[in-house]
Amino acid sequence: MPKLSQKKGIVKWNTKETGIPMFDESIKDQESIHRKFNPKLEWVDTDKFLKLQKDILWDYASKGLKDQAYNLKDHGESPKDFNWRLGIEESSQERIKKGIKTGSKFNAFAVVYDKKGEVEDFQEGRNRIIAFKQVGQKKVPVWKMKRR
């Protein structure tokens, strides 16, 4: 695994894993012929990653929530924003910010790419990315998990 220097910032990172077993197996044993992904760690601008998460969630959820969400247009909220907001919890963000202040380490994020390199799936960590943005973290570690 290539060594990457710890990026300066407010948050302490554990860049060696995501906390998601199906990804961590490929990260920990990148030479295995049985791994499901070709992982690559990159540092991504916080705003860019936040937008990517929102887009991935909307692409996935729009099949089932689009009709429900469109009813909210009259209330000044886009369907995409409504769908995003469903998983946002202020109490989770406060807990994360408390962890940042006390020096907790946070796992890297992950995004799945298909064999062609197009974003395919996986959105997790909405509350983490919002909390990191609120405390001024400029970049976050993201494992780009390309399917083999």
* CA distance linking residue 44 with residue 92, whole number of Å: 22
Higher-pLDDT residue of 75, 31: 31
Instruction: Give me the chain's average pLDDT, please.
Output: 83
* Helical (H) or strand (E) element with 57: helix 46-70
Give this prediction's pTM.
0.80
* CA distance linking residue 8 with residue 33, whole number of Å: 34
- For position 5, what pLDDT does the model report? 40
* Helical (H) or strand (E) element with 129: helix 126-134
- For position 120, what pLDDT does the model report? 84
What is the per-residue pLDDT across 89-114, written as a single tens digit (0 to 9) for each? 889 999 999 999 999 999 999 999 99
* CA distance linking residue 14 with residue 100, whole number of Å: 13
What is the per-residue pLDDT across 3-32, written as a single tens digit (0 to 9) for each? 444 455 789 999 999 999 999 999 999 988
* CA distance linking residue 70 with residue 6, whole number of Å: 42
